[in-house]
Amino acid sequence: MILVAALSGRAVAQAVARTGAAVATLDQFGDADLPLPARCVAGDPVTGFEQDALIAAARMLAPPGSGLVVGSGFEQAPDLLAALMQAGPYRLHGNGPDAVRAVKDPSGFAARLAALGLEELGIGHPEMLVAMPDDVVSRDWLVKRAGAAGGWHIVPWAGGPLPDGHYLQRRAAGRPTSVAFVADRTGRCETVAISRQWTDPAPDAPFRYGGAVLPAAVPRSLADRLAEAARRIAAAFGLVGLNSLDLLVDGKSVTVLEVNPRPGATLDLLERHRQGGVMRAHLDAAAGRGWKLGPARPGVIAGAVAYAASALTVPADFPWPPWCADLPRAGGAVGVGQPLCSVTAWGGDEEEARRRLSCRIERIVADCTRRACFVERTADVVPSLQC
């Protein structure tokens, strides 16, 4: 048995299940396509899980000695990860609390990066502040919550004191790029894919996560530099399993933003990009066993979050297409601007994949909104999607 715990656990749980392992899942959404058994655990998508509720649910689902794979929700609370591990006790397949704490401590992370010689690769790191000197110009900085994910927490700094648990990061130029890699304790580190990412701004969340496309078409020289940066960072922080390195790429200039020390938002895409998926490599590398990655499939895959254009109640028997995931349950309420589902699309290159993805997002948002309105008003049926 492997217990999965993540704010949104569907992608991780399905990936674990594809390895043939029995899986149980704890998350905050309880989507309709979440593998069973599963429990919804109280908490907040930004601040994380409530500890007592998480541990109680874990003990209900997974017996002592079960494996444990975590996704988002623990970077801001490595002590919670430690408590969950001890609650079984459970065998962690991934980075432990000390590694998570090290990569998610803003000051410590910046100091460790400075000692890795990344400058010789043309790779830098934006200045960070945990306290504000008098001469800081607000328009040059972003406010981030330490350990948070998904971009909801990032806003331009407007001056004034920093909230507890937040820090300032100087703005930097470049296209959001991410390197997914698998590492183990022998020093081996292999790039799974390089992705391009984008935001989907909302009025109160200008850096909200939008989606990603991979493999990104990048020059071989850049790919080699990014792979070497990932290798050095993995070795310095003792990272194991599947991780990702988020950067900004501006021509030849590269800026490291952060490390996600767990399977991240592109897991669905990585699972499809590599034959045989990537979760088996994650489990084996983290456990100290021999591991390998399957060859890349041809083509380019893109994925994104489809956000609701208006508040709606999910209609019963809605015909979700096979390219949708993270499906809300029938009768559930989805607020305006909240995630409706996840969408994927293949293409021959980045442009085609993103064009197909945009088409599908428009269709699913419009169709779900229209059907929800018709069911509420007339109980009429809208034809299913053809995109």
Picking from 236, 260, 287, the residue at the C-terminal end of a domain is 287
| pLDDT score of 248 | 96
| pLDDT score of 67 | 98
306 and 360 together in one domain: yes
The overall longest dimension of the chain from CA atoms, in Å, is: 65
Is 382 within a domain?
no
109 and 242 together in one domain: yes
Which residue is associated with the tokens 């830098």? 124
Is 185 within a domain?
yes
121 and 209 together in one domain: yes
| pLDDT score of 104 | 92
> How far is Cα 367 from Cα 177, in angstroms, rounded to an integer?
32
pLDDT band at 384 (very low <50, low <70, confident <90, very high): very low
First to last CA, the chain: 38
Strand order in the sheet with 2-5: 38-40, 23-27, 2-5, 67-70, 91-92
Q: Is the pLDDT of residue 40 over 80?
A: yes
Phi, psi at residue 269, to the nearest 5°?
-70, -40
Mean pLDDT of the chain: 91
Is 295 within a domain?
no
Structure-block tokens of residue 84:
């969950």
Contact call for residues 27 and 38 (beta carbons, < 8 A): yes
115 and 246 together in one domain: yes
> How far is Cα 125 from Cα 250, in angstroms, rounded to an integer?
13
Secondary structure class of 349 (helix, strand, coil): coil
| pLDDT score of 52 | 96
CA angle 213, 214, 217 (to 5 degrees): 105
84 and 167 together in one domain: no
Is 386 within a domain?
no
Is 316 within a domain?
yes
CA angle 135, 140, 146 (to 5 degrees): 95
Q: What is the pLDDT of residues 301-342, one digit of tens each?
A: 999 999 999 999 999 989 999 999 999 999 999 999 999 999
Is 383 within a domain?
no
71 and 155 together in one domain: no
Is 248 within a domain?
yes
314 and 236 together in one domain: no
Secondary structure class of 11 (helix, strand, coil): helix
The range of the structural domain enclosing residue 335 comes to 300-377
Picking from 46, 61, 92, the residue at the C-terminal end of a domain is 92
343 and 234 together in one domain: no
pLDDT band at 47 (very low <50, low <70, confident <90, very high): confident
Which residue is associated with the tokens 């070497």? 228
> Which CATH number goes with the domain that contains 247?
3.30.470.20
| pLDDT score of 33 | 97
234 and 144 together in one domain: yes
- Give me the number of domains the chain comprises: 3
Q: What is the pLDDT of residues 242-299, one digit of tens each?
A: 999 999 999 989 999 999 999 999 999 999 999 999 999 999 999 999 999 999 999 9
* Beta-bridge partners for 117: none
> Which CATH number goes with the domain that contains 56?
3.40.50
206 and 340 together in one domain: no
Picking from 42, 64, 92, the residue at the C-terminal end of a domain is 92
86 and 106 together in one domain: no
Is 292 within a domain?
no
224 and 337 together in one domain: no
Q: What is the pLDDT of residues 193-232, one digit of tens each?
A: 999 999 998 888 888 899 999 999 999 999 999 999 999 9
| pLDDT score of 136 | 65
| pLDDT score of 380 | 42
